[in-house]
Copies of this chain bind each other. A is one copy, B any other.
C-alpha cells in the first residue's frame, strides 16, 4: 500500500475509533448519570483543576468550540447543581466555574463504568507495548494539534 493510503487509513481509524467510543460513552453516561459526553468531559476537566475551579474562557479554550456553546452547557450543569458560577475576585468581568460536591459525587458514580468502557473498547485489543506506543503517539499528535487549531478566543478575535 502506498504510504499516503496507509496514513489516510490511520486517520480514518482515529476518527472512527473516537466516534465509536463516544457512542458507547454516551450510552453509558446517560444510563449511569444522565450526562452527555460533553458534559462529563467538562465536569472531568473541572474536577482535575486546582480547587475544582476554572475561568470560563480557559474552559472554553480547552474544551468547547465557542463561548456561547460553553455558556449553554454551563447553564445546564448549573441548573442540575453540578457546578456553580462565581464572579472573579481580581477581574470583575470574569466568571469562574466551580464543580460542586454533587458534581464530584456524580463524577465518582459514573467513572467506574466510564473506565470500563475505555478498557474494554480501547485497550483489550492491545498488548502493553502497543498501548504504550499508542498513548505516546496520541499525546504527541494532540500537542501538535493544539498549536495548530485556533482557540475559541483566537477565532473570536479574528472575526472582529
Chain B CB within 8 A of A80 CB: no
Decide yes or no: A138 and B7 within 8 Å by CB, A121-B144, A121-B145, A145-B21 being known contacts.
no
User: Contact at A134–B10, with CB atoms within 8 Å?
Assistant: yes
Copies in the complex: 2
Judging by beta carbons under 8 Å apart, are B135 and A7 in contact? yes
Residues of chain B contacted by A125 (CB below 8 angstroms): 140-141, 143-144
Residues of the B chain whose Cβ atoms lie less than 8 Å from the Cβ of A115: 4, 8
CB distance from A132 to the nearest CB of B (A): 8
A149 to B56 alpha-carbon distance, docked (Å): 34
Does A139 reach chain B (CB closer than 8 Å)? yes
Determine if A19 is an interface residue (Cβ-Cβ < 8 Å). Answer: yes
Q: Chain A interface: which size bin? A: 35 or more
- Which residues of B lie under 8 Å from residue A135 when comparing CB positions? 6-7, 9-10, 13
User: A136-160 vs B: 1/0 string, CB under 8 Å?
Assistant: 1111111111101100000000000
Instruction: Please determine whether A138 and B24 come into contact, CB atoms closer than 8 angstroms.
Output: no
12 contacts between A and B (CB under 8 A): A7-B123, A10-B122, A10-B139, A13-B135, A14-B17, A16-B145, A17-B18, A18-B18, A23-B65, A121-B145, A131-B137, A133-B134
Q: Which residues of B contact A17 (CB under 8 A)?
A: 14, 18, 138, 141-142, 145
| A126: Cβ under 8 A from any B Cβ | yes
